[in-house]
Amino acid sequence: MRGAHLLLKHYIYCLLIIIFTASLQPVMADDYPQVQILLETTETIAGETIQYPQSGQAKVTAAIITIAPGASTGWHQHKIPLVAYLLSGELEMEYANGKRVTLKQGQALMEAISVAHIGTNLGNQPVKIFVAFIAEEKSEFTHLSEAPSMPPISQHANAKVELIDLSELDHRLKFDIRYASDNNFMGKQLYSKSQALMQKPAAEALIKVHDKLQTMGYGLLIFDAYRPWQVTREMWDKQPQHRAYLADPLQGSRHNRGCAIDLTLYDLKTGKPVSMPSEYDEFSERAHPHYNGGSAQARKARDLLRVTMESEGFKVYENEWWHFDYQGWESYPILNVPL
């Protein structure tokens, strides 16, 4: 028994030595919490200096914001500092100062305060953002704002602006100005007046096209011509799912310069529009000028329109058989004169 007792004491003594020795070993880094810096900045993403509440009771509000696919936040401003972290998805952010960025999962930012901005989910999955507002207790966090109203400046826009009313230039033309009604893809009236304007050289070239088509038994039916930049801005913001067919407002469109026109053919005998592979403003493959489906007669009419327009200095847009840009459009400024 005495030997067993001594053996037990020896075992306990050895165990204490092992525990004591282990306590002297350096602690591995994995035993401590790991710190990953997401953001360190003294400015917002728009370059504003961050300022915290100077008086009153400070208050922090944390939330998770979810933006559905194809949806946007609308133009808005924050009145207080806001830090955001993208939990999932991708979000396109555009700022009134012309900056546009795409935020991806795992990115953090100090959001703009006084600079208006809009976020758009262009993906197929919901976007989730963790946000923390830092403010005084009674502060208003966010308010809606208007979209930018000043178009971008064209660097080489030195051509003389002389918009011509097509209805006064050629009384044979027919008109169905869709954006002067609610019969359009936006579902609302965008022009206060039904009018088709073009820069003078483009308008004169169009009349030459019309003269040629008249000898073949056709006339031109006009859907749209000059378009104020503000309308392009609204289309881009409100219909993000159709951006492949829309002009980027940061670049301005040929329509904004008065050098683009949307049109089709009408039959001189019946006065009715000629059948085409797709409807006007149909955002599908059928609208493409090289689409091989549909009837042979419709494709023939589409191709006749294209060949005749291109014979006088116009070029068809790659996604829309009805849209033609006039040569030299780059020389004209982006206009925002309302109709």
Q: 192 pLDDT band (50/70/90 cuts)? A: very high
pLDDT tens digits, residue range 234-244? 999 999 999 99
Is the domain 163-331 a CATH 1.10.510.10 member?
no
Determine the residue type at 272: K
Per-residue model confidence as pLDDT tens digits over 90-112: 999 999 999 999 999 999 999 99
Residue 302: name the closest of 264, 269, 338 by CA: 264
What angle is formed at CA 75 by the lines to CA 70 and CA 76, rounded to 5 degrees? 125
Give CATH for domain 58-144.
2.60.120.10
Q: Do domains 58-144 and 163-331 have the same CATH topology?
A: no
Name the residues annotated as catalytic: 320
Inter-CA distances, 2 with 5, 6, 8, 209, Å: 5, 6, 10, 119
Distance of CA 64 to CAs 87, 114, 132, 243, Å?
9, 22, 9, 27
pLDDT of residue 223 exceeding 70:
yes
Question: 7 pLDDT band (50/70/90 cuts)?
Answer: very low
**In sequence order, which residues have a C-beta less than 8 Å from that of residue 237 and are 6 or more positions away?**
72, 74, 75, 118, 120, 147
Return the domain boundaries, the chain.
58-144, 163-331
When mean pLDDT is compared across 25-29, 83-87, 121-125, the lowest value belongs to 25-29
